[in-house]
Amino acid sequence: MQLTNRIEISGLRVAGELFTFVGDEALPGAGIAELDFWQRFASIVNDLAPKNRALLARRDELQAELDDWYRTNGAPTDMAAYKAFLTEIGYLLPEGTDFKVTTKHVDPEIAQVAGPQLVVPVMNARYALNAANARWGSLYDALYGTDAIPEQDGAEKGKAYNPVRGARVIGWARNFLDQSVPLAKGKAKWADVSRVFVDGAVLMTDLGSLRAPTHFKGWRGPKDNPSAVLLATHGLHIEIAFDRTSLIGKDDKAGISDVILESALTTIMDCEDSVAAVDAADKVTVYRNWLGLMKGDLAEEIEKGGHTFTRRLNPDRTYEPPNGGTVTLPGRSLMLVRNVGHLMTTPAILDEQGREIPEGIMDAMMTALIAIHDLNGKRMNSRAGSWSRILRMQRGITDMSRSYLIPYELK
């Protein structure tokens, strides 16, 4: 693709719209001068692009030798001989000496808590916002709207609310609470609870306390009539919401209007997943959405059912904990970014010889620059102060070599 509107800077020829985006949107507030950024960018391209080309050439050599071997021998039967061949051509390398890897500034969503992870193309702002906001989700909605509850014996979805189906949703949710955060008395069930309140630092019901009091993590509203209570098991949180004026809560014995689960702990924002984002216009869309996520101001006008509304990132959730003060939980998934792989080049930036630069290098530079807005700002994404970059599947030592080059240079 030929782009005529290019800006020459530090030996690079940058597509005009990408150059403008970096200067007008990505750099302000990042604490990096424009010329300094492009000089460092050019230095990394000049250093790593030739190495990337050499590694790709080596990859092609290995592939050619593998193809020739398979044409001659077919599927391997003598695994010892096959391993010797792979070692001879350099596909398998000798095992190195023992080493240790240490980490720091790792968010608990990665290091400590196991939970769902989503992958979404960041080029689509609506999808990106939906995924980030999936950190918390209504168990009632999930059950009612899916086949987890069979549509039989009067429990069909229909266009209007079906109380038969709703009752089965509520029954399923009560059983979930019995299994996850059971009550202390042996035969006491959440389905029989008619009142929930906080007594000192203990969560109580009219049927008694929790079997494990440590499941209780906080509440909102008055102690004797909370609007929500926060529970936790295996590091994941459960919010029970109360509203006796709501459609569901008004007919519920305990006034429970919903059960909200902590769900998608992390989301991979993919720079290219199920979409083609290669040229400057596409990449600016990708980077602009990533910038909105890192600054916390991404918004999208959405039309649904004849109504238009604005979708934004959800705020954090706050509660009063049993030990006093305030506990704040993230309202959004921890967002990681997946850069494009090593094989692709992009016409968005040309090097000194007029060659397209590796798209993975451009993605790494741009997404790292943009992540600074979170790291140096409110840390609405990574509370530990990290930028998490994901790479596509690595196939052999040459792919791994390219993967380690870029983070080392960015450091």
The model's pLDDT over 309-366, given as tens digits with 9 standing for 90+, comes to 999 999 999 999 999 999 999 999 999 999 987 788 999 999 999 999 999 999 999 9
The predicted pLDDT at position 275 comes to: 64
Conformational region of residue 296, where left means phi above 0, alpha means psi within -120 to 50, and beta covers everything else? left
Compute the distance between CA of residue 70 and CA of residue 85 in angstroms, rounded to an integer.
11
Residue 408 has pLDDT above 60, yes or no: no
- Average pLDDT for 235-245: 97
pLDDT tens-digit map of 197-206:
999 999 999 9
Segments of 21-171 assigned E as strands: 117-121, 136-138
Buried b (16+ CB within 10 A) or exposed e, 365-400: bbbbbbbbbbbeeeebbbbbebbbbebbeeeebbbe
The predicted pLDDT at position 402 comes to: 47
The predicted pLDDT at position 273 comes to: 62
Other CB atoms closer than 10 Å to residue 354's CB: what's the count? Answer: 7
**pTM, whole model, 2 decimals?**
0.90
Write out the two tokens for 312: 């934004």
Q: Do the beta carbons of residue 181 and residue 233 sit within 8 Å?
A: yes
Architecture of domain 6-51+96-113+266-410: Alpha-Beta Barrel (3.20)
SS3 55: helix
pLDDT band at 279 (very low <50, low <70, confident <90, very high): confident
Compute the distance between CA of residue 249 and CA of residue 395 in angstroms, rounded to an integer.
54
Residue 209 has pLDDT above 70, yes or no: yes
> Which amino acid is residue 308, in one-letter code?
T
Architecture of domain 136-262: Beta Complex (2.170)
- Average pLDDT for 243-263: 97
Least confidently predicted of 37-46, 250-259, 299-308, 363-372 = 299-308
pLDDT band at 3 (very low <50, low <70, confident <90, very high): low
Share of the chain above pLDDT 70, in %: 93
Residue 401 has pLDDT above 80, yes or no: no
The predicted pLDDT at position 324 comes to: 92
Compute the distance between CA of residue 15 and CA of residue 215 in angstroms, rounded to an integer.
55
Q: Which of 228, 186, 227, 183 is nearest to 206 (CA)?
A: 183
Please state the length of the chain.
411
pLDDT band at 155 (very low <50, low <70, confident <90, very high): very high
Classify residue 222 by burial, with Cβ atoms within 10 Å: 0-12, 13-18, 19+: exposed
pLDDT band at 391 (very low <50, low <70, confident <90, very high): confident
What's the chain's average pLDDT?
92
Write out the two tokens for 145: 């709207």
Cβ within 8 Å of residue 256, ≥6 positions away: 170, 240, 241, 242, 248, 249
- Average pLDDT for 288-301: 96
pLDDT tens-digit map of 83-97:
999 999 999 999 889
> Which helix (H) or strand (E) element contains residue 231?
strand 228-233
Compute the distance between CA of residue 126 and CA of residue 87 in angstroms, rounded to an integer.
48
> Which helix (H) or strand (E) element contains residue 268?
strand 266-270
Q: Where are the chain's structural domains?
A: 6-51+96-113+266-410, 136-262
Q: Do the beta carbons of residue 221 and residue 227 sit within 8 Å?
A: yes
406 HSE (CA, 13 A, CB side):
26
Compute the distance between CA of residue 28 and CA of residue 322 in angstroms, rounded to an integer.
42
Under DSSP, the state recorded for 119 is E
